[in-house]
Amino acid sequence: MNPDREPSRLPLRAGAMLLLAVAIVFVGLGWHSAATSGDDPEKGLEAAQRQVATTAAPSTSATASAVKARVCVYNAGTIAGLAGDITDELKAQGFETADPGNLSTSSITENTVFYDDDQKTQAEAVAEALGGASVDPRPSSFTRCSTGIPVIVVSR
């Protein structure tokens, strides 16, 4: 071995320690992610059961009016969290609700409840529970909440 020329490689022990440190960091990040994810498997199961119950309901017009339609609230305004607040209020009043969502549109400027042919009475009840909202037939281009009653909120 030539004393003027030293190898520029890391010793084997230093490489193993570096790999061990990286592995510990990844295990810690995985544990932290799992502990703080906030996913509740029971909540997901309940949502799936509600979806199955809603889609399994008879679709004849005679029985559809007796079945409470699911209410889907969408925030089309600028107030953060408005759809969630309205969903909670409707749920407290006994309505079956879906998870709230956001809607990007400038064509709806007032709180509006859409309905299909056999849902007008239920849509009017939702509008009344909101303290007044416009009740309109569902436009054919509005495909969200296809089996329920969409509620678009822009203000409190």
Question: What is the reported pLDDT for 105?
Answer: 81
The residues, any chain, with a CB within 8 Å of residue 108's CB and separated by 6 or more, are 76, 152, 154
What CATH class does 67-153 carry? alpha beta
Q: Is the pTM of this model over 0.75?
A: no
Question: What is the reported pLDDT for 42?
Answer: 60
Percent of the chain residues past pLDDT 70, beyond the cut: 72
Are the CB atoms for 35 and 114 separated by under 8 Å? no
Rounded CA-CA distance 81/75 in Å is 8
- What are the pLDDT digits (tens) for 66-121? 467 899 999 998 889 999 999 999 999 999 999 999 988 878 889 999 999 889 99
3 vs 110 pLDDT, higher one: 110
Question: What is the reported pLDDT for 5?
Answer: 63
Question: What is the reported pLDDT for 38?
Answer: 60
- What are the pLDDT digits (tens) for 19-66? 899 999 988 888 777 777 665 556 555 655 565 555 444 444 433 444
Are the CB atoms for 150 and 69 separated by under 8 Å? no
Are the CB atoms for 113 and 35 separated by under 8 Å? no
Rounded CA-CA distance 113/149 in Å is 7
Question: What is the biggest distance separating any 2 CA atoms in the chain, rounded to whole angstroms?
Answer: 96
Question: What is the reported pLDDT for 37?
Answer: 63
